[in-house]
A = this chain, B = another copy of it.
Amino acid sequence: MSVDVAAIRRQFPILNRPINGKPLHYLDNGASAQVPQAVLDAVHAYETTSRANVLRGVHALAEAATEAYENARAEVAQFLGVPAEEVMFTGGCTAAINLVAHSYGSLLRPGDEIVLSELEHHSNIVPWYQLAQRAGLRLRPLPVTDEGRIDVAGLPQVVTERTRLISLAHVSNVTGAVLDVAAVVAAARAVGARVMLDGAQRAPHGPLDLPGLGIDFYAFAGHKAYGPNGIGVLWARKELLEAMPPFMGGGSMIGNVTFEAITWAPPPRRFEAGTPPIGPAIGLGAACRWMMEQDWTALGGHEMALTQRLMDGLAETSSARLIGPAGLQGRLPVISFVLDDIHPHDVAQILDSRGVAVRAGHHCAQPLMERFDISGTTRACIAPYNDTGDIDALIDGVRETVRRFA
């Protein structure tokens, strides 16, 4: 393996922090990844040398802040392979999806249909449910296979002439399965529907080529992609943005304001009401730059080798059952499992006592838990800075948990 993991680890200051007297094995990356020094430095430089409000100021700090903010937009755009004016900063991935549900959603008619899936994160269910209630729409969930994949074979049953939007997780935050985007786009195009991908779990694994996917909307969260909290991204095609009304109202998104009539600024400003999350955006720009500087062929190999090691270790634990694809094909390093008769919280708590941080619970995917008839899973998500020591500590902890509750 050509990855110098130690060199990567040195860039993430938190990894030196001991947990309960033991080294930290951080495998909760799917909930929030850690930040490299480059991101901390970018935010610190803004806060201590060029902090000011953006867009409206003529003084030197305001010029510098505006430049840093727009430069961050350009970095994110390059990371996604799209023009900068199609990139909007939002408060998070959830906020980005809500923006589409309110803005694009306001163009839909009663009886129109939106296709989701049984494995969506609540952030890609609840906004559509709320829209459906407001506007009389119908939600049609795609089924999930026993392997934990969105079953694209089910598309013909749920996509109809009334389908206006198909909104799906690019990568499942529970099973790690990667969506068959081409199949979804083909089905959408056949009926003139739009496609939105929730990229929260895909973005942390390297640059994207959104135009190549043939989709219409993409959302992701900064804090899961090595950036700060309080920042997310929405990308949408320019033609769509131009036809969409604003979501939130406030400063900077207007043309002219009187009490009788208000006109809107062009995108992307139309969708960035009020003072944007400037510092967080600058941090996310630095995170995207950091990701673009990595060799993802090597890092992807590294992540998937660790995934295999983890799956092998679980396979040797007879009471462990994987929730998700068993092989490495069409998946990313999000690995969920259950242990017979042991609750995921108990697993996670015992792992914590050994310095291993994982997530346990329903992962904001209650319909998927129902689908598998479980109350939750224990989940490990691997990032470039994870190493074999992290995986081995996790497997040891799982074995100890099984012994303790046997």
Mark A residues whose CB is within 8 Å of B: 13-14, 17, 19-20, 24, 26, 28, 31-32, 34-35, 40, 44, 47-49, 51-53, 56-62, 90-95, 97-98, 101, 116, 121-123, 125-127, 129-130, 139, 141, 221, 223, 228-231, 246, 248-254, 256-259, 262, 273-280, 345, 348-349, 351-352, 356-361, 364, 366-367, 370
Distance in angstroms between the alpha carbons of A280 and B275 in the assembled complex: 14
Copies of this chain, count = 2
Nearest CB of B to A52, in Å: 6
Nearest CB of B to A290, in Å: 14
Distance in angstroms between the alpha carbons of A335 and B218 in the assembled complex: 43
Distance in angstroms between the alpha carbons of A349 and B60 in the assembled complex: 9
Please judge, given known A-B contacts A49-B14, A59-B348, A279-B230, whether A126 and B249 are in contact too, CB under 8 Å.
Answer: yes
With a cutoff of 8 Å between Cβ atoms, the chain B residues found around residue A228 in the complex are 47, 230, 279-280
Distance in angstroms between the alpha carbons of A292 and B116 in the assembled complex: 48
Please judge, given known A-B contacts A49-B14, A141-B259, whether A122 and B357 are in contact too, CB under 8 Å.
Answer: no
Chain B residue nearest to A277 (CB atoms) is B230
Distance in angstroms between the alpha carbons of A276 and B273 in the assembled complex: 18
With a cutoff of 8 Å between Cβ atoms, the chain B residues found around residue A364 in the complex are 56, 250-252
Nearest CB of B to A303, in Å: 20
Distance in angstroms between the alpha carbons of A366 and B325 in the assembled complex: 57
Cβ-defined partner of A250 (8 Å) among B32, B47, B97: B97
Q: Top 9 A-B pairs ranked by shortest CB distance? A: A94-B274, A126-B249, A230-B277, A230-B230, A94-B250, A91-B91, A123-B250, A31-B53, A251-B364
Q: Is the CB of A366 within 8 A of B256?
A: yes
Q: Is the CB of A91 within 8 A of B277?
A: yes
Q: Is the CB of A52 within 8 A of B251?
A: no
Q: Is the CB of A59 within 8 A of B126?
A: no
Nearest CB of B to A372, in Å: 14
Q: Is the CB of B14 within 8 A of A48?
A: yes
Chain B residue nearest to A280 (CB atoms) is B230
With a cutoff of 8 Å between Cβ atoms, the chain B residues found around residue A127 in the complex are 248-250
List 14 A-B pairs, Cβ < 8 Å.
A32-B52, A32-B275, A53-B223, A57-B348, A57-B359, A58-B345, A93-B275, A94-B249, A98-B249, A125-B259, A126-B262, A130-B249, A258-B366, A277-B280
With a cutoff of 8 Å between Cβ atoms, the chain B residues found around residue A126 in the complex are 249-250, 253-254, 257, 262, 273
Cβ-defined partner of A280 (8 Å) among B34, B58, B229, B248: B229
Nearest CB of B to A213, in Å: 23
Please judge, given known A-B contacts A19-B60, A279-B228, whether A122 and B251 are in contact too, CB under 8 Å.
Answer: yes
Nearest CB of B to A401, in Å: 13
Q: Is the CB of A251 within 8 A of B121?
A: yes
Q: Is the CB of A274 within 8 A of B28?
A: no
Q: Is the CB of B358 within 8 A of A59?
A: yes
Q: Is the CB of A273 within 8 A of B123?
A: yes
Please judge, given known A-B contacts A94-B275, A273-B126, whether A35 and B47 are in contact too, CB under 8 Å.
Answer: yes
Distance in angstroms between the alpha carbons of A139 and B92 in the assembled complex: 31
Q: Is the CB of B262 within 8 A of A17?
A: no
Q: Is the CB of A129 within 8 A of B262?
A: yes
Q: Is the CB of A47 within 8 A of B14?
A: yes
Nearest CB of B to A382, in Å: 16
Chain B residue nearest to A173 (CB atoms) is B251
